[in-house]
Amino acid sequence: MKKLLITGAAGQLGKALAKEISFREDFRLYLSAKSSPETEDEEMIFLDVANWENCQAVLMKINPDIIINCAAFTAVDVAEANREEAYAVNVLGVENLAKLAREISAKLVHISTDYIFDGEKDEPYAEDDIPNPLNYYAQTKAESEKIVLEYSPGNIIFRTAWMYGEGKNFVNTILKLTQTKREIKVVSDQWGNLTSAEAAAKAIVFLINRNAQGIFHGCCKGVANWYEIAKKVLELAEMNDVKVIPITSEEYNAPAKRPRYSAMANKHLEEMGYVMPQWDEELERWLKKK
């Protein structure tokens, strides 16, 4: 039985992975997260990836065969002002894990993002396209990818995008806004792949089972903009009395610049025979279950 450690297990992907792996008898699962009111769980191990001593103590004690790193500073706009904290988690923390993983001969699966691309392409990005991040969060993620593969080419970089699941995300925000608003303004000039945490988790487990290595894109198929996604959410939730109004990124005026087009092609996954679900079909399935 292989020992598998999930960092950032209190986040939406971490939770989805824990559920997916908990059904399997070939893994002994360990969950870890940085302490917060949400993560006061007897089974949750305290782990601050940016703290070397803490990382070393936890990993040496567990001695996992596989580490899935879901720990990240993901607040894209906040990262512009809180650069030190974003760098500590997204770069120094990743280097801590990569260094220790090599010491104990563990495979590191590192979660990355579509935002490492600049959005200048008019077709989905492939795994071998060159990153050119537009904001500080994306810069830290691009740097972390290099670190992971430098420490071991046997590690996995799993890039995913526009995620929703159990927690704070775009889909849940739209649903929450309908409780108080009859009109919702949503950006219509950014295109990407809406992806459920559950779909991403299933793909990650597939790669682990195949002992894959290298860079993989794992997002739901089909491209849409945020405005189209918001309309689909309301349609599926049968909230026809709420109007979605399209606005530009310039009008929204977020602190961090986003790529205009960050859709990704799951080329390497599909070469292995694995096909991700269509974004709208997966969204419908998830909302029915919610």
Catalytic positions: 137
Q: Please list, in sequence order, all residues whose beta carbon lies within 8 angstroms of the beta carbon of residue 246, skipping any fewer than 6 positions away.
A: 185, 186, 187, 188, 227
Residue 102 and residue 96: Cα distance in Å, rounded? 10
Q: How far apart are CA 157 and CA 74, in angstroms?
A: 16
CA pair distance 134, 148, nearest whole angstrom: 21
Do residues 263 and 192 touch, judged by C-beta distance below 8 A? Answer: yes
Q: Which residues pair with 281 in a beta bridge?
A: none
Q: Of 240, 262, 258, 234, which Cα lies nearest the Cα of 248?
A: 258
User: What's the angle, vertex CA 93, arms to CA 158 and CA 35, rounded to 5?
Assistant: 100
Among 68, 33, 32, 72, which residue's Cα sits nearest to residue 206? 68
Question: Which one, of 58, 271, 81, 60, lies nearest residue 71 by Cα?
Answer: 58
**In one letter, which amino acid is 195?**
T
Encoded amino acid at 98, one letter: A
Interaxial angle between packed helices 197-209 and 12-22, expressed in degrees from 0 to 180 and rounded to the nearest 10: 50
